[in-house]
Amino acid sequence: MIKIILQDPRHIYPFNERARDLRIQNKPLWLAQRDILAPHTHRELELPYGAKFPRVEEECLLYRDNLYFDSYYMEAFLAEAKLRRRPCQAACSANDPAFREHALPLSTSYTPDGDLYLSELWYFPEGIHSEIEPMSAEPVVIDLDCTEAGYYHVPTYMAYEQGDLTFQVPRRSLIAIDSWVHIFIADIVFGQFTRGARFEEKLEKFPFYKLKILSKAMLEGKQVLESSELVHVGRNCVIDPHATIHGPTIIGDNVTINAGAVIENCIIGSNVNISQDCQLMLSVVGDGSFLPFRSSLFMTTLMENSMVAQNTCLQMCVVGRNTFIGAGTTFTDFNLILTPIRARDGNCQLNYSNRPVLGGCIGHNTRIGAGLIIFPARTIESDVVLYATRDRRVIERDIRFEDSDHHQLSFASLHPRLYPRIEELVVESW
């Protein structure tokens, strides 16, 4: 089967980069797609934006390159589509809790069709013979098979929704990356939470798997969640015996984890250094990142080669590559006045995020100084330098490149701009 990739030229704010090049589960999205489809396809063709569909005489899969899907969803979609033996398009029901609560808000990629939303993912059993063929494909609804998971309980005065805060966790994942919030959803809800849900389901369905884990833990003399069956460690790692690591956790190669660190249900990339007393829960740490002592990540994505300095806590945040966050900087995650949190959607407009609590987002190649307080869902664009001053310690609005503090310095040229906006790239090309 051949796969045909439709390019999505839009940039995701504040990264100023296409979705395909951003990291999901510590992999560039294009690489994650390739790995998942490797068992099903033997060659690929990439179409520039606006190009006509080619004539294809063999079985093919067509998808937009801003889609994140996992192997469980793709196998279910292909199995159902092949049974129908006609052109099919992936769709989600508006009544699917995981899609309705997490994938649909802030999105611009889905096409409404009654009570369905069509995704840009097609299957053609006999190839593509005309331009209109994708438009006449039959919708195939794949249930995301979600389960409800709570992540903490809050007093009624702290949230406009009272009681437990919950996620609708799918066991099959499909989401279009149109906003930075979708990276958070793909990494944490459709990633870390989903892995935990699959693990619990496997324990319930297969008693011998449960016995295997128990026996491995007894043999190693460890608590069950610390056993090697649930904590996968790469090559050449140095892990202090006083560090606490609970699975399901994946640790890459050449990782150093020092005494007092606590890691629970995380993905840790290669060449990562985690210093003393760091706290990491339900987070994704990219390759080459550095966490000095007592820095904390909770439900946060940290892309490659970034650093979060000591005594800094990030909750429900997304941080781009090659970015530095100074000591003691605080990212708040709920509004003190009980108003719904708004975030940038796929059109870069403020819209309701459908999240009662949500942290902030920082782009690539950004430098954030020490001691700042950043309000919920605020964004800081790529290439910005921001430091606390006597008049400003609280970031209460989005920060764009034009607002960067380094413009006021005589040596501003020492911080090059690496990620201009897409409209600026078009102007430069002329």
Read out DSSP for 82-102? Answer: HHHTS-EEEEEETT-HHIIII
Name the DSSP class of 220. Answer: H
Q: Cβ neighbours of residue 16 under 8 Å, at least 6 residues apart?
A: 363, 364, 381, 382, 419, 420, 421, 422
- Tokens representing residue 372 in the block: 């700042």
Q: Report phi then psi at 246, rounded to 5.
A: -110, 140
- Whether omega for the bond prior to residue 248 falls within 30 degrees of 0, making it cis, is yes
Of 29, 102, 72, the closest CA to residue 172 belongs to 72
CA atoms within 13 Å, Cβ hemisphere of 392: 10
d(C-alpha 334, C-alpha 353), whole Å: 12
- Within 10 Å of residue 300's Cβ, how many Cβ atoms? 26
Report strand pairing: 301-302 vs 27-28. Answer: unpaired
Name the DSSP class of 401. Answer: G
- Within 10 Å of residue 271's Cβ, how many Cβ atoms? 17
- Burial environment of residue 38 by CB neighbours within 10 A (0 to 12, 13 to 18, 19 or more): exposed
Domains by residue range for the chain, with CATH? 2-144 (3.90.550.10), 231-429 (2.160.10.10)
Q: Report phi then psi at 255, rounded to 5.
A: -100, 140
pLDDT tens for each residue of 188-226: 999 999 998 998 888 888 889 889 999 988 998 888 888
d(C-alpha 327, C-alpha 275), whole Å: 14
DSSP H or E run through 23:
strand 23-24
The owner of tokens 């052109």 is 87
Determine the Cα angle at 320 with ends 314 and 322, to 5°.
110
d(C-alpha 102, C-alpha 355), whole Å: 9
d(C-alpha 193, C-alpha 335), whole Å: 24
Determine the Cα angle at 359 with ends 354 and 360, to 5°.
110
pLDDT tens for each residue of 294-321: 999 999 999 999 999 999 999 999 999 9
Q: Report phi then psi at 47, rounded to 5.
A: -105, 125
- Tokens representing residue 146 in the block: 């979600």
Q: Report phi then psi at 123, rounded to 5.
A: -130, 130
Q: Break the chain down into helix, strand, coil percent, rounded to 5.
A: 25, 30, 45
Name the DSSP class of 399. Answer: B
Using CA atoms, how far residue 192 sits from 32, 171, 200, 283, 307, in Å, is: 15, 11, 13, 7, 21
Longest dimension (CA), the chain: 67
How would you write the pLDDT of the chain (430 residues) with one tens digit per residue? 999 999 999 999 999 999 999 999 999 999 999 999 999 999 999 998 888 888 888 999 999 999 999 999 999 999 999 999 999 999 999 999 999 999 999 999 999 999 999 999 999 999 888 776 677 889 999 999 999 887 665 565 555 555 567 889 999 999 999 999 999 999 999 999 999 899 888 888 888 988 999 998 899 888 888 888 899 999 999 999 999 999 899 999 999 999 999 999 999 999 999 999 999 999 999 999 999 999 999 999 999 999 999 999 999 999 999 999 999 999 998 887 778 899 999 999 999 999 888 999 999 999 999 999 999 999 999 999 999 988 889 999 999 999 999 998 888 888 999 999 988 876 554 4
Using CA atoms, how far residue 426 sits from 9, 15, 230, 400, 429, in Å, is: 12, 17, 48, 19, 5
DSSP H or E run through 202:
helix 194-205
- Tokens representing residue 43 in the block: 């060659």
Strands (E), 172-229: 174-176
